[in-house]
Structure 1
Amino acid sequence: MVHYLTNEPPNQDGGAEQPLFLRVAAAVENDIIAGTLAEGERVPSTNEIAAFARINPATALKGIAQLVADGIVEKRRGVGMFVTPGARAALLARRRAEFADRYLTPALDEARRLGLDHADVIALIAAKDQP
């Protein structure tokens, strides 16, 4: 079975995988958050991304265009794309704001279904946090 919009197989959650251009954008965002791409640094060209990921350059361009629209990357005519000042802080703020809805809410819903209270959940988190 495939997802009717993306023609991709469903993932483990039953939904379709994220579109490829969004995965390109997320990979660049992850590099910015990790410090691999610093603010002011040149982002790999769409042709470099396409060659590395073995994807269509138009798909890579769409992913980078999304980052431009989000203000994470800026286009410098004739020079390339560069990480904007404040991009890392903006990405961290956005991801922190999304964290509870994306990860905690589903986990707490499942904990309630299992009859776990707050103390149980905190104990599980503490146990998983140990090396």
Structure 2
Amino acid sequence: MSHSLNDSKPIFIQIKERIEDQIVNDQLKAHEQIPSTTQLVTFYKINHLTVAKGINLLVDAGIIYKKRGVGMFVAEGAKEMLMEQRKEGFVDQYMLPMLQEAEKLGISQEELTKIMEHLKGRDKQ
């Protein structure tokens, strides 16, 4: 986990997203305990309430669950839920604007496919 947080978005959202990333990347699996609020406060050197706010968003979304007196754990199916949310977000944030711009520029679906294949191949080099 990186110690650095930035000003691009609220800190509690960044905490939430860092935990989500760990779930998506299989660093945290279903029923595994996540770092405690105290550990996160110490690690990031931020306010306890800020961490709690980020964690509570994950609890409310059903991504993690509380075991009273024990801690917070990754919910069954959390990775799948997050992957589905991210796919939907990817389409809305990237694909739709790209397709709209491609249409304005007169780029065909075939041309887009070739461009994507070229770019994907470039990553492997």
Common fold, TM-score beyond 0.5? yes
Q: Please identify runs of 4+ aligned residues in structure 1 that moved more than 6 A.
A: none
Task: Identify the residue that residue 56 of structure 1 maps to in structure 2.
Answer: 47
Aligned length: 117
Corresponding position: 1:66 with 2:57? yes
Once the two structures are superposed, residues 42-71 of structure 1 have per-residue CA deviations (whole angstroms, 9 ceiling, x without a partner) of: 010112112222222211110000000000
Task: Identify the residue that residue 3 of structure 2 maps to in structure 1.
Answer: none
* TM-score, length-scaled by structure 1: 0.81
Given the alignment, which residue of 17, 21, 26 partners 1:30? 21
Aligned-partner Cα distance in 2 for 1:58–1:65: 10
Task: Identify the residue that residue 82 of structure 1 maps to in structure 2.
Answer: 73
Aligned-partner Cα distance in 2 for 1:97–1:111: 20
3-state DSSP class of the match of 1:36? coil
Once the two structures are superposed, residues 4-27 of structure 1 have per-residue CA deviations (whole angstroms, 9 ceiling, x without a partner) of: xxxx97xxxxxxx32211111111
With 97-106 and 58-67 compared, the bigger mean Cα shift is at 97-106
Aligned-partner Cα distance in 1 for 2:27–2:117: 30
Tell me which amino acid in the other structure corresponds to 1:100: V
Task: Identify the residue that residue 100 of structure 1 maps to in structure 2.
Answer: 91
Determine which structure has greater relative contact order: mean sequence separation of CA pairs < 8 Å that are 6+ residues apart, divided by chain length: 2
RMSD: 1.7
Corresponding position: 1:118 with 2:109? yes
Show structure 1 runs of 5+ residues with no match. 1-7, 10-16
Once the two structures are superposed, residues 88-114 of structure 1 have per-residue CA deviations (whole angstroms, 9 ceiling, x without a partner) of: 111112222222112101122222333
Aligned-partner Cα distance in 1 for 2:101–2:44: 36
Once the two structures are superposed, residues 72-102 of structure 1 have per-residue CA deviations (whole angstroms, 9 ceiling, x without a partner) of: 0111110010111111111112222222112
Tell me which amino acid in the other structure corresponds to 1:23: Q
Show structure 2 runs of 5+ residues with no match. 1-5
Corresponding position: 1:43 with 2:42? no
With 17-26 and 121-130 compared, the bigger mean Cα shift is at 17-26
Aligned-partner Cα distance in 1 for 2:97–2:44: 32
